[in-house]
Structure 1
């Protein structure tokens, strides 16, 4: 994902912070310049005596290199921000905490004019909230096609609601040679585990019982650590087995 795509895919909170955390690569990325800081690495401060973790290093980077997200955002082209040059100047004055009279003296106008601009910007904020809510609801309408999980599966609740789009994205990331190919790595996140296990389960016949050896043979075709897959099938409730472990079947 390039710099522009990364910025516009970020949430309001992420844009306010100036960075986004990418779980797949376990790193923080600056939304202004795409500088990255890897989670788990300690980064030295300029005085060489302090060290920051990745998130604090990113916050420091934005402050030192870009001053503030507020200044960056109000300085964006009008076609992106919808803010005129005059509104930008007013917002910068508001950020400084200047009184209306002080601002009026700086821009050459009356305090009532400044108050009127404050009112118009507040109205613009309300309109933006309504529009964002409308777009959010529109996205929710598009995302109501949730993937049904196997009825016996555990760990499935509203926190793990998965859309078809999410499922396709996860599977493409973990089955890079296609859905009939091998699993590259086994995910650590619960939601991704469910998606991957659900897919692998399709390789078994729900009306058939399998020996442990037969289960292993199927899973070996998918992933080298077939023991982990078999264990998670039981733990997550996708499969059940006899007490002596001689028979396995898809849990109904």
Structure 2
């Protein structure tokens, strides 16, 4: 899920609009324009356990809810009475009411921040739009402050686009430039397809002779996922348009 491309309404619905209709926020399911909200809702319930559950347990660096908070919100959503929940958790009912108050206060803070942000950046210069880091990225700092214009200029400088597949002329030295180069190399890897190391190498070898370095950086920066035993690689689907 790429939060940069989804509105608050999209997140609450569990689906978003496309040029031809609608698409699920969590998988590749699509629906035509004439489809009903009920059809989409049924898909979310049957395939994903409901949109609310997906939002509560979303694996994203932006989901800051602790497991305890996730459990509490799940309980609140069920309509359980404060006293009954307090009895189950063996705490005072006042503790449950205080937790609800805390959630409401955080929601107010988030609402004010969102309104302020949208007011400030209502008409951003398209050339200053920053790219969205991969959902799995962990080393988030100013290296990721990359505009679309920076990408276009850097890729023209470092790649030979006259060949198929593309060829990287040389490996950059600066970390920010490496990230930009990786944003293009990763598009050579199929999305959501389990691949062995030799299979990953077969995609990277034509791009650059030191494919081992490329592979390592793709993993380090979150463009590729690698299993714990190192035998399987996967390019996650973050809904970014290549």
* Larger of the two Rg values belongs to structure: 1
TM-score (norm 2): 0.48
- Structure with the bigger RCO (C-alpha within 8 Å, sep 6+) is 2
